[in-house]
Chains A and B, each alone.
Chain A
Amino acid sequence: MMRNGAQVADSLRLLISSSKSATYVEARYHSRVGSEVNFVNGELERIRVVENAGCGIRVLVDGCWGFTSTSNISNETLKESLSQAISAARILARTKKNKVKGLIESKMITGTFRTSANSGNLSDISIEQKVQVTKEAEKEARSNRLIKTASCTYREMLDHKVIINSDGADIEIHDSKPEFSVTAIARKASQSATAHEGVGITGGWNDLFKKKSHLEYAYTASARAAKLLDARHVSGEKSTVILDPAMVGLLSHEAIGHTVEADFVLSGSVVKDKIGSKVASDLVTLVDSGRSEIAGNAGGTIIVDDEGVAAERTAIIEKGTLKSFLHNRESAMIFGTASTGNARAFQYSDDPLIRMRNTYIEPGEDKLNDMIKETKHGYIIKGARNGQADANGEFMFGAEEVYLIENGEVKELLRGASISGNAFEVLHSVDMVGNEFQYDIGTGYCGKYQPAKVDGGGPHIRCTAMIGGLQE
């Protein structure tokens, strides 16, 4: 149910102004209507519409954070929630050693914002049409006779937020994030292979299918799964690799992005004392931005963060030098710098944490063909699967398809494998950066106590990493 933004804002303003005993108060109304349609092997696997709305209240009292949330947003309940948050903070003040010193001053944003849903407002597209598209794509994925299992999912999140805080933020946001994905599993005798294709964006229905139609996604996934069936496994070795934009996005997010989240830095991340140091090849400029830079409709686009700070472009690494961590107002105060607008909460009942947005490596000047031509022995790594990074910079992520390169030519397709290495060693080894940019991990969610919709990408890059495999 859509509540009137102006009325909600009035209630929250009243609440904030009534609170005198807290250093800082933030009230965030967040309504989300999520829909999902999923077909598997010709049958409707899941259909649902879920609405979740309420107000999260966060306070800073006696140098401690308290948080409560309520789905009932009557003035009375809000007031009760606020006092609960205050008492939770006071309880914590008894045991907390290092009190929060305060929040850095930031320009507090006011106004109403809409993330671009220029074409095809999701709420104007009928549930019947969403069912139709998902059903058709799933059927298309099975049109290849080697595909024994196929699945197609359409999901959307329609968000309405009102954020008011005691430092002057007064914002209303309308956001629209649809995603579409296809999985195909090919099987022959005891062999099986899986392929995924998908897109997750910030925008409308037509934006979602701007690059490819729903049937093209399905076709690509099923053709790849079928091809992978006959592919050999990679043997493990350290090698030259060319990463595709999705892999570059995953590397930027998992292997670098997490290590520069300021809360993580404070507990001893590997980059702790490295601001101003050379951490990567000169060719690498790595950015996290709440805006959809370079290309449109990036899935992690937020405009303003949940503390009321503009979510602007933050260069983490500029031409190989570590420039910035990712901050909220609290960590920025500790580091004596500005907030980078990375405070995000997934739902009304979650509190804002330092999270990434769209994380990517900026394009360079090399053509992909030249990158391949200049590789004597190596691999092209495509199709990012999930990944993880460790505090010491070690990372690993999965790739769906791997192509062998010998003497400057692309040879056979190999099965998916894990790529690993030390993040910064890998970035130091970057010697070629492609000139075509793409966001390509928008169907992914990042997990850190709560999910967050993020995106990432880049051009193709060439570097050295360890590729895992079986010891024969």
Chain B
Amino acid sequence: MILDLLQYAIKQAEALGASDAEAYAAINNESEVFIENNDVKQAKSQSTSSIGVRVVLDGSIGFYSTNDLAKSRIRDAAAMAIKVAHASPKDKHNILPRKSKSKLVRGIYDRNAESFQTLDAARMAAEMLKAAKSYDSRVSVDSGNFSAQVATDALANSNGIELKERTSVFSWSIMGMAIENTEISSFDYQVGGSHYVKDINVSNTAGEFAETVVKSLGTRKIEESFKGEMLLTPMAAKEMIEEVVAHAINSDAVQKKSSHFAGKIGRQVASDLLTIEDDATNVEGLNASSFDREGVFHRRNVVIEKGILKKFLYNTHTASKDGVKSTGNAGGSTSSPPTVSTTNFLVKPMRSSVDKLVSEIDKGIIISRFSGNVDPVNGDFSGVVKGGQLIMNGTIKYSVKEVMVAGNVFDALRRLNGISRERKVIYDSILPYMRFDGISFTTG
């Protein structure tokens, strides 16, 4: 039924002169319960559906999206996309992918998700809240949520691609602080997620959150500014490192000369401890799916191997420019033409435990969260350490406050000197703890 609508949109666009056309639809059913101020706040249930029509007309691209799937509106959308194409400049790389064969990814859809209701979501939210509060009476939950989502993605184009896939995603988050008398700790934020009902574990996430905020009470200023080691938790690594690397390995950034990695394929760009993959076929990551935003099948892409830059991530448009094949990294929703984006971002774990990484530090700081700015182009970062702890001679001394950290991600990657065996799934990232030396910490 949905595929018929997509074919209808393509036929309409072709009838109006499009040489190529693509229609992408997404239908979502979602139940979500919000937490606010230590209590459940609101329950929400909704179904949304939308379609995006992309047309190519004499090399020019047009795009129109609507959330009204009535046939008459889809016809209008195709006509509007043609109108937009008339205003656009030509680009010979505006092409659509061809049909290819591959296997569908298994393990991303749970039948039981269909019967998971608002009532169940409310129970999960209440359980998460209870787990956090019972850990320690000083824990205060500012906000959080539990969401259950079943999504159907369907895509068709005038080259004969016709695909449909259903995924289920459960995700939850918890955010807040610990309060003792007049002292308020740093904020912490933890998330969890799964594709299957049986893998939902809100108590773990709540426990980790509670432990972190309680630990960051009783903070002290560090005595002086220093240069030392930095141990990032997976969440902090996501905040400080991932965006920069994701930008640098994006073929679009490379072609626009804003990637630090441009021209460096085959060269050492990081410590040989570092291996990074983009892999939508890894079902632990919540972004797992079989095909990308324009119908190219996903695969495992090793981007950096033992510190050596191996490849960039492409969609069909950027691949055409470089004369290579798409890596299956067309991203974006129905409300936008395809971009290039990472799917699941993975850093390979190593043998050391987190405890071992800590014990090897002479002087340094563990960072739970990084609140600051990162420039994805040149890699400069500068910001405040959140939930930080000072380490001296291999032991954790105390929790710190008002420490700023600054440096450059690309320099830091070369000075990466430890990766943990423990990893954490943060939605679409699977990251270990990462340790760097030569980092500047400033106190006021």
Contacts and interface: CB of A to CB of B under 8 A. Distances in A.
Interface in A375-407: 385-386, 388, 390-392, 394, 396-398
B184 A392 contact: yes
A87 B335 CA distance: 31
Interface stretch (A209-217, A287-295, A308-316, A463-471): A463-471
A87 B372 CA distance: 42
Contact of B63 (A47, A91, A185): A47
A71 B49 contact: yes
A394 B45 CA distance: 36
A1 B73 contact: yes
A237 B83 CA distance: 55
B87 to A, nearest CB: 4
Contacts of B38: 267
B187 A70 contact: no
Given A47-B62, A67-B42, A236 B184 contact: no
Contact of A47 (B37, B88, B384): B88
B142 A268 contact: yes
B360 interface: no
B184 A391 contact: yes
A50 to B, nearest CB: 4
A52 B440 contact: no
Interface stretch (B303-311, B399-407, B422-430): B399-407
Contacts of A43: 89, 91
B65 A50 contact: yes
Contacts of A127: 83-84, 87
A210 B140 CA distance: 47
B417 interface: no
B78 interface: no
Interface in A33-53: 40-41, 43-44, 46-53
A238 B129 CA distance: 39
A149 B40 contact: no
B212 to A, nearest CB: 14
A88 B176 contact: no
A114 to B, nearest CB: 24
A186 B118 CA distance: 51
B48 interface: yes
B444 interface: yes
Interface stretch (A16-24, A92-100, A155-163): A92-100
Contacts of A398: 372-373, 382
Given A236-B406, A471-B440, A65 B373 contact: no
A390 B183 CA distance: 13
Contact of A466 (B256, B339, B404): B404
Contact of B186 (A50, A88, A390): A390
Contact of A92 (B42, B49, B87, B143): B42
Contacts of A41: 256-257
Contact of B258 (A64, A149, A270): A149
B225 A47 contact: no
A390 B91 contact: no
Contacts of B442: 236, 466, 468-469, 471
B353 interface: no
B390 to A, nearest CB: 16
Contacts of A135: 89
Interface residues of B, number: 81
Contact of A68 (B45, B177, B375): B45
Contacts, number: 228
A76 interface: no
Nearest to B30: A349
B76 interface: yes
Contacts of B382: 398, 417-418, 468-469
A187 interface: yes
Contacts of B125: 95
A54 interface: yes
A148 B407 CA distance: 23
A418 B336 contact: no
Given A88-B118, A185-B258, A420-B404, A46 B337 contact: yes
A47 B61 contact: yes
B80 A92 contact: no
Interface in B226-240: 226-227
Interface in B44-78: 44-50, 61-68, 73, 76
A48 B55 CA distance: 11
B377 interface: yes
A185 B378 CA distance: 10
Contact of B371 (A64, A98, A270, A396): A396
A263 interface: yes
A46 B40 contact: no
A266 interface: yes
Given A84-B45, A267-B141, A469-B406, A48 B37 contact: no
Contacts of B65: 48-51
B119 interface: yes
Contacts of B227: 471
Given A53-B67, A390-B386, A417-B382, A89 B336 contact: no
Contact of A470 (B89, B122, B375, B407): B407
A209 to B, nearest CB: 19
A194 interface: yes
Residue with the greatest number of chain B CB neighbours at <10 A, chosen from A50, A98, A469:
A50
Contacts of B407: 470
9 contacts: A47-B63, A131-B88, A131-B89, A236-B406, A388-B371, A418-B404, A420-B383, A420-B402, A466-B404
Which 6 residue pairs of A and B lie closest in terms of their CB atoms, listed nearest first? Answer: A398-B373, A236-B442, A471-B440, A88-B43, A65-B42, A418-B382
Interface of A: 1, 40-41, 43-44, 46-54, 64-71, 84, 87-89, 91-92, 94-98, 126-128, 131, 135, 148-149, 151, 185, 187, 191-194, 236-238, 263-264, 266-268, 270, 349, 351, 385-386, 388, 390-392, 394, 396-398, 417-418, 420-421, 449, 466, 468-471
Given A46-B336, A53-B68, A191-B378, 4 more contacts: A67-B44, A97-B39, A394-B401, A449-B34
